[in-house]
Structure formats: structure tokens, C-alpha cells
Structure 1
Amino acid sequence: MGTTDVRVDVKLNKHVWSRGIRSVPRRVRVRIARKRNDDEDAKEELYSLVTVAEIPAEGLKGLGTKVIDDED
């Protein structure tokens, strides 16, 4: 996404390590959001936030990429 500053959400970290070190999940569906950095002394103005994506009840078949404008 063009950013070198990548931050992993706490929920994603807990999901990856939920089954222990020996049986880590093979696939994890993630959502990557590019956000503006509010720190004044930051090297870059943008960072990428990686979170766990919710799996819909109807299943994963036919899903594609969605562009979401997230205004915080």
C-alpha cells in the first residue's frame, strides 16, 4: 500500500496466536486500511493498519475487493 509503517491490530495478534505456537491458522482474512498519522514528529504521513476481517454468514464464495472510505 506504499507505506513502510505497518501496525497490527490487537485482535489480529490474538487470532493468530489463539491456538498456540504449534497450530497457527494457515489462512487469515485481513483488512488493510491506510490511515493518516497524527504524530507531529512522524517520518511518514500515512500508516497501514491491519485488522481481522469479519467473515459473512453466507460464506466466502464470490467475495471481491471493496474500497471503503473510512472517515475518522
Structure 2
Amino acid sequence: MAPAKKGGEKKKGHSAINKVVTREYIINIHKHIHGMGFKKRATRALKEIRKFAMKEMGTPDVRLIPGSIKPSGPKE
């Protein structure tokens, strides 16, 4: 017979992959969309926000909530 393993079975804990992480940042979108045509600004801004989030979070899976993107600062 084969020798028995010491320690028995270990329970698997929760993986960090399944945890949802939410962070809030303020980024200057003007720097990224300066010089873009009017109709391309919104799509370019979303791409830049995703790119920033990928860099900060270190993961390619970035999901944006549509209502969470809002301007900050004084209105003039």
C-alpha cells in the first residue's frame, strides 16, 4: 500500500479573484481628449478611463458603471 499523506485535506479558502474592488479616482480627461474631433471625444474619453483603470488596478478586466462617471470641480 501507498503511505498515507500527513496533515489530511486542507479546505480551500476564497480566492482573491472573486472579490469586487471599487475605487474612486479623479482624472483630468481634458489632457487625453485635447485635439479630438467633437464626435470622437466621448468614445476616446471612455477608452482613456479604461486604460487608466487597467494601469492602476493591474488587470485587463475593467467594468465601468454608466452613472458613475460625472464631472467634478466648479462649474463656470
Higher strand proportion: 1
Please give the TM-score of this superposition, normalised by the length of structure 1. 0.23
Instruction: Decide which structure has greater helix share.
Output: 2
Q: Which has the higher contact order (CA 8 A, sep 6+)?
A: 1
TM-score scaled by structure 2?
Answer: 0.22
